[in-house]
């Protein structure tokens, strides 16, 4: 189904979310190094940056979801239509790009969650070790 609905708004929202998630993963990598160095001041600074970046990611995700709903509406689909159905409404040549961007958002989300969990466990372990040596 050929359509004149612009898909670039969806691409922009996905790219923005990917960029911010990549920024959070960078901060989490820095935090891991800071935790291993037992740099409490550096970790506190990074904790604030991580919170701020997480809030920014939440806003990007909301924007992406809003753009997806609006795009679905523009395509005369239910606003609750999933991304695969919206993608299939665009010209064939756009599908690989949109599919790749959605897949990368999911992949980075999983990687981000894993890094958050790992850093939390690492902080807890180091705090436990520090309190047992006192």
Residue 2: inside a domain: no
Residue 3 lies in a domain: no
What is the Cα gyration radius of the chain? Answer: 19
Residue 66 forms part of a structural domain? yes
Q: Say what the pTM is.
A: 0.87
How far, in Å, CA of 89 to CA of 68, rounded?
Answer: 12
How many CA atoms does the CB half-sphere of 125 hold within 13 Å? 9
Cα-to-chain-centroid distance, residue 11 = 14
| Measured CA distances, 100 to 10, 13, 37, 106, 118 (Å) | 12, 14, 37, 10, 27
Mean pLDDT of successive 10-residue stretches along the chain, which has 134 residues: 71 97 97 92 95 98 96 91 94 95 97 96 83 66
The count of domains in the chain is 1
In a domain? residue 1:
no
CATH number at residue 34: 1.20.58
What pLDDT, on a 0 to 100 scale, did the predictor assign at position 1?
42
- Note the pLDDT of residue 2: 47
The parent domain of residue 105 ranges over: 8-129
pLDDT at 40: 87
In a domain, 100, yes or no: yes
């Amino acid at each position: 189904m050929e359509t004149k609905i612009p898909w670039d708004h969806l691409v922009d929202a996905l790219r923005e979310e990917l960029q911010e998630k990549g920024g959070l993963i960078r901060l989490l990598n820095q935090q891991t190094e800071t935790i291993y160095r037992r740099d409490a001041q550096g970790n506190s600074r990074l904790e604030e940056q991580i919170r701020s970046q997480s809030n920014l990611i939440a806003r990007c995700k909301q924007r992406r979801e809003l753009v997806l709903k609006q795009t679905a509406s523009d395509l005369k689909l239910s606003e609750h239509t999933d991304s695969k159905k919206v993608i299939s409404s665009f010209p064939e040549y756009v599908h690989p790009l949109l599919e790749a961007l959605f897949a990368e958002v999911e992949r980075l989300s999983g990687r981000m969650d894993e890094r958050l969990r790992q850093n939390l466990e690492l902080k807890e372990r180091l705090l436990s070790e520090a309190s047992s040596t006192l």
